[in-house]
Amino acid sequence: MKKQKKSSVLLIYTGGTIGMMQDVVTSELKPFDFKTLTQQVPELKKFDIELSSIAFAKPIDSSNMHPLVWIELAKIIKDNYSKYDGFVILHGSDTMSFTASALSFMLENLNKPVILTGSQLPIGIIRTDGKENLITAIEIAGSQVKGKPVVNEVCIYFEYKLYRGNRTFKYNSSHFDAFKSPNYPALAEAGVNIQYNKSALLKPTTKALKVHTHMDNDIAVLKLFPGISKKITSAIINTPGIKAIILETFGAGNTTTQEWFANELKKAIAKGIVILNITQCLEGKVIQGMYETSSHLKKMGVIGGADMTFESAITKLMFLLGQKLNNTQLKKQLLIDLRGELTE
């Protein structure tokens, strides 16, 4: 019987807690050398996977993550797409959901796994969660059935769960289970074996990978709260150069019905600014028109964001604005499920 070819995985280290080691003398944390990765995590030697790595010359704290870094990551994957069966990106947890969401839109027709992971404790600390996250993320990235990858999308793996990246948000800064995906089920759970939720995974495509490298961040966020003033609302809406506004509303997409607020939104829409309505709730979705307090939004042309996360809404807008679409096209694309980011 012909032996199945080893799968190959490219590990990309951007920065973050997972790649830090503690100096035995000073106790300071510093990035470890990824060329000696198997010395730091000897368990990796047991994998029947060919593992290669690329590390950013200067590790980036995830608080400094930027669309330019997303573009760099997309280009790395594009340049190495034919060489590897899967990709693992090591990333700080604070903005991991933003990066995962952005890459999901930038990597159109992705037919291989791109798994982001990290840790709450450095990999050089005894109680680190980094080793398990790294080992299992690599195993998932290299998993194949009959020569085909099991996963064909951008995901986050953290604390025994694999999630669709553009459905996640970081909800906990002190526990190992740092991420949630409230509006979409986990894609896999790691126990004694890795159990895949096959019905939840994106289906493979026969189309060629298309990598988009234009992102436009001329976006403002207007988060509502009881008592928000006209002065503040007007200042945000009239920010020079903005092309889109994310309106973070109450419940199922509700806002104040005060006349001045509606007028400010109408003026923005008249200027060609796209307004996307997403809920402040961590679970559930926007249903414009369910109540009187949201029906006026639908009538004036505010776009309902359904059950998109804030992270997905931001990066989807950046992606679509980068495509130089006209307003009609852009609004249509916002309503369409492009990468599994919303329930239509």
List residues with catalytic annotation: 17
Three-class secondary structure of residue 31 per DSSP: strand
Task: Select from 116, 48, 47 the least CA-distant residue to 77.
Answer: 116
End-to-end CA, the chain: 46
Q: What is the Cα–Cα distance from 171 to 179, expressed in whole angstroms?
A: 6
Three-class secondary structure of residue 197 per DSSP: coil
Burial class (CB in 10 A: 0-12, 13-18, 19+), 14: buried
Q: Where are the beta strands (DSSP E) in 197-262?
A: 210-211, 219-223, 244-249
Given a contact cutoff of 8 angstroms between Cβ atoms, the answer to whether 216 and 246 are in contact is no
Q: What is the Cα–Cα distance from 48 to 56, expressed in whole angstroms?
A: 26
Q: Which residues contact 17 (CB under 8 A, 6 or more apart)?
A: 92, 93, 118, 119, 120, 121, 122, 130
Given a contact cutoff of 8 angstroms between Cβ atoms, the answer to whether 305 and 334 are in contact is yes
Helix %, strand %, coil % of the chain (to 5): 35, 20, 45
Please list the residues that pair with 276 across neighbouring strands.
Answer: 246, 303
If residue 277 lies in a helix (H) or strand (E), which one and from where to where?
strand 274-279
282-311 burial, b at 16+ Cβ within 10 Å, e below that, comes to eeebbbbeeeebbebbbeeebbbbbbbbbb
Q: What is the Cα–Cα distance from 129 to 33, expressed in whole angstroms?
A: 19
155 sits in the region (left: phi over 0; alpha: psi -120 to 50; else beta) called beta
